[in-house]
Structure 1
Amino acid sequence: MDHGPWQPATLSTEVNVDTWRMWWTQISLKPGTHQVFCRATDKTGYTQTADRAGTVPDGATGWHSTTFVAA
């Protein structure tokens, strides 16, 4: 959150081994604009790199981020 340390998240139920899973976490924020990043870690322990790459030939990489305003 806002370029701070990585925080653990709770994952939704796994549908199958080939699908993404929704996640959630609970944090306290001051009012204002914030940015959150997420990255995946697979069952082997490999954590997704920040380096962006397209889907061809080996699948997309890079962290997803979104900016939002907290009231």
Structure 2
Amino acid sequence: MSDGNALIERINALEMRLTYQDEAIETLNQTITKQWLEIDRLKRQLSEMKERLQEAESHAPGPANEPPPHY
């Protein structure tokens, strides 16, 4: 009968490990989902900043290192 008890204890231990692993996987999944949402937001923001910079550069006067007209 002790073999049966040992088997039951092993099964219980495996079930507990499985439960903790399921919880860990769910937590990791939620973290990854939040990170992807943040990455997407940052990509959009970077794209907007690129567009604004290109627009500002197209409306800017000539090169900054151009000598003044009196030279």
TM-score range (shorter-chain normalised) is under 0.3
TM-score (norm 2): 0.17
The structure number with the bigger radius of gyration is 2
Select the structure that is richer in strand. Answer: 1
Larger helix fraction of residues: 2
Length-normalised TM-score, structure 1: 0.17
